Amino acid sequence: MMVPADDLLGPNGHGQTHIGQQQQQAPDLLGGFSGAVPQQQPNQTVINAGNGVTLSITTSAPAIAGLGKIEPSAAVNQAAQRKPKRKVVVVPTYSCNGGFDSKFNVHARYAKPSDIHGLLSEEEYEREISALNDKLKTTRAKKLDYALLGMGMAMIPLALWGVRHSSQVKKRKKLLEEGIWEFNERMAMSNRNVRMVYHRAKLTGGAEGFLAIEESNRKPISGPEKGDKFD
């Protein structure tokens, strides 16, 4: 079957077919259509065939449509809003009773940071930490504990010391929780967004826990409105 030359070469004789004239819009990588055929990027290669004959071959690769629309991740991260960090004040400790016990340092200048973020005044800080130390005073080692531990490797004295030490540790934990709860109640009653938290060690045998005074997201407690009745 003979095909007319006009169908193969097109009306102008430049090798354009009817299919080429009716190319559809190419979809880009982001979805949708770009409205144009992807541009070709030419690449020329020169080959020396000898005897003074040089061949030049030009190839092209389609450009990736929509590549310019993709923003780098760094720009996206910079555009993201950063949440403000919560203010935290670490209350330092120091050893006492020959290293058997520890106390919280009552001086604000030794806190981390020393300006305590303005969460409390220096007088409030010293008063609250002193009250907490006084509450824990009964849990510290006594003269009897030193005497039992100083008897050497005898089984009975060491066993008695171990029982007393375990009881003191449990009592300290309970009183510390009570002191923290009382502080947080006072701050809540004063409508202040401040709280005290004891952060326990995450790993057994690792670094010790620490006491902190932090900024709280607690909403202020509104007083009773006019007309409210209480039984």
For 36-70, the DSSP string reads SPPPEEEEEEEEEEETTEEEEEEEEEE--TTGGGP
Structure tokens at 95: 């050893």
pLDDT (tens, 9 = 90+) of the chain, 231 residues, equals 444 544 444 445 444 444 444 444 444 544 454 454 455 556 666 666 666 666 666 666 555 555 555 555 555 455 445 667 889 999 999 999 878 889 999 999 999 999 999 999 999 999 999 999 999 999 998 888 888 877 766 777 788 888 888 999 999 999 999 999 999 999 999 999 999 999 987 765 555 789 999 998 866 555 444 444 433
Q: Residue 188: beta bridge partners? A: none
Question: Percentages helix, strand, coil for the chain, rounded to the nearest 5?
Answer: 40, 20, 40
